[in-house]
Amino acid sequence: MDKKEKVKEKGEWTKLKLDNNTITGYTVPIGPFHPALLEGEFFKLKVDGERVVDADIKLGYNYRGIMKLAESRSYWRDLYLVERVCGICSHAHTTCYTRTVEMLGKIEVPDRARFIRTLVAELERIHSHLLWAGIGMELIGFRTLFMYIWREREHVLDVLEMISGNRQHYAMNTIGGVRRDVQKDMIPKIMKKISEMKKSLMKLVEVVVRDPIIRNRTVNVGKLDKDIARKICVVGPVARSVGIKIDVRKDDPYAAYEEVPFDIVTAEDGDVFSMVEVRLREVIESVKICEYCLDVLTRIGGDIRTEISEFPVNEAVGRVEAPRGELMYYIVSNGTHIPERVRIRTPSYMNDYAILFMLKDQALADAPIIIAAVDPCMACTDRMIHIEDAKSDKKEIISVYELSKRYRRKEK
Amino acid sequence: MSIADEIREKLRETLKDDYLDEKSDEYNRFYIRTHPNRIRETVKLLVDEFDGRLISISANDLGFEGFDLVYHFDFSHKEKSLHIAIKVRIPRSNPSIDSVADIAWSANWAERELMDLMGIKFVGHPDPRRLFLPYAWPSEEVA
């Protein structure tokens, strides 16, 4: 097969917006296979020697058209659909969806339901952040810590299974409340598990923050400028790691966050290290919120859901702090039981844009950890990296794991 | 005076007759309708003067009536829960509007997405390539 036919078969490919005459070197494509919804990504890195000169990104490899699908189902069936937008932050998506629908119909949620929502959301945040920390540590070659962190994550999943019956896709939320109650006899068991976890997590944070190996690989790597971060509106832990103090839980309180005391964790540097630090310190805050919620749940009783009769003609914007940042739903209703328009804006959609700025002028060896640093829902799976020499047509296909293995030891 | 009132006052002052409609609810959300020609001015005002975060652009397909573009601005870092949505309606026969990607960088991907999925043209976009669809996807006229 000659080159022209090959191009025809693959479809036309628009070249990177780079001048090939001035920049000599390789283009390193990373991707595109990806497990999560909106952000199926394909990176093209232009390298000059070992340094990344420019980066480009292409989305849409896993586009499932959830927003269009949601417009053809009833509000109740959409609940199951939006839960499957993301496997890791499934509860955040249903919380945001139910919040927006409750704003449409001006529905009040019972107190007990609000605290159960908060509890599950925080447990989910712990599990998501620990999952990310484990993967991140493995990408820089710290396998022991990866095992250590994931052991703690297993305890969170046990608690979530105890509450909801599932390790993922908890299906706790429904419009106007929650579907399952947290049983009174369950609370002491959860408390015990969480307090044990808290001790080892505190220790773990100290280990990660002080370890010289981790510091060497992450401090001053992939620095994100504060002004650029403001301009591209990054959200969540990425924004907080450059010193932008935004958190939907405080700014636009939902569920029970208005009554729960907690601090917003921020850092100043905006490098990979501060992103690690912010996430791990946030885990400790989340554990505190869980303890508070469990304490309240032992005291208050009452209903866990309200009945809903109709959805009036209206529109609403609901926002929620998912583990990766601010998640937004915009729903327009037309008076029937099917929404007119559902718009989903996921946090990674904003943060992925930051990767392009973070990668510039960094070593190729740091590319795996920089891409993983914004937690783009993509470190979850092993994918293939395709290295291509633009001049000699030399090609090589290796996995992310192998690339990270090859660059475990960075040469200075 | 709260920030919400300040912003609305300023918008009314600059847009004058093009400040077409205003709606609000008890969750501190405001929906303001204006003319598509004034969108660059409005976005510049909200981003530069009031430090608004343009978090998303959504489009509602209204059939024969055209498209409703909704520019979501978040001010909750300044005032609790404050969210202002600027709405403009563009006709179906000529679904095009000025791009704001050079004023608010976060509009870059949102506009590319709408070009892909809704067929709306953003005039003057700095990087009008496909985002979700393959690069080779044929451009279609809106039916």
Amino acid at A303: D
Q: Are strands B53-61 and A384-388 parallel, antiparallel or unpaired?
A: unpaired
Confidence of residue A48 (pLDDT cuts 50, 70, 90): confident
Residues A66-345: name the CATH superfamily: Cytochrome-c3 Hydrogenase, chain B (1.10.645.10)
The answer on pLDDT for B46 being more than 80 is: yes
The answer on pLDDT for A34 being more than 50 is: no
Task: Name the segment(s) of chain A with CATH classification 1.10.645.10.
Answer: 66-345
A89 marked as part of a ligand binding site: yes
Among candidates A131, A118, A230, A234, which has minimal Cα distance to A182? A118
Task: Show the domains of chain B with their CATH numbers.
Answer: 3-93 (3.30.460.80)
pLDDT in the model for residue A402: 63
Q: Token digits for A148? A: 């250590």
In a mutagenesis test of the A interface, which of B21, B22, B27 is the best target, namely the one with the most A β-carbons within 10 Å?
B27
- Exposure string (b/e) for A125-153, b if CB count within 10 Å is 16 or more? bbbbbbbbbbbbbbbbbbeebbebbbebb
- Dump pLDDT digits (tens) for A376-391: 764 333 333 444 444 4
H-only helix segments in B1-92: 3-15, 39-44
Write down the mean pLDDT value for chain A.
Answer: 82
A380 marked as part of a ligand binding site: yes
CB under 8 A, 24+ apart: contacts of A401-404: A403/A368, A404/A138, A404/A139, A404/A140, A404/A141, A404/A368
pLDDT in the model for residue A410: 55
pLDDT in the model for residue A397: 57
Strand partners, A145: none
The answer on pLDDT for A63 being more than 80 is: no
A17 → chain B, closest CA residue = B127
Judge whether B45 and B99 are in contact, CB under 8 Å.
no
Chain A residues in contact with B83 by the CB 8 A cut-off are 252, 317, 319
A96 marked as part of a ligand binding site: no
Proportion of chain A above pLDDT 90, given as a percent: 43
Least confident of A145-149, A372-376, B20-24: A372-376
pTM of the predicted protein model: 0.86
pLDDT in the model for residue A372: 80
Interchain contact A156–B (C-beta under 8 A): no
pLDDT in the model for residue A96: 94
- Dump pLDDT digits (tens) for B114-129: 988 888 999 999 888 8
Please state the length of chain A: 412
B62 → chain A, closest CA residue = A340
pLDDT in the model for residue B10: 92
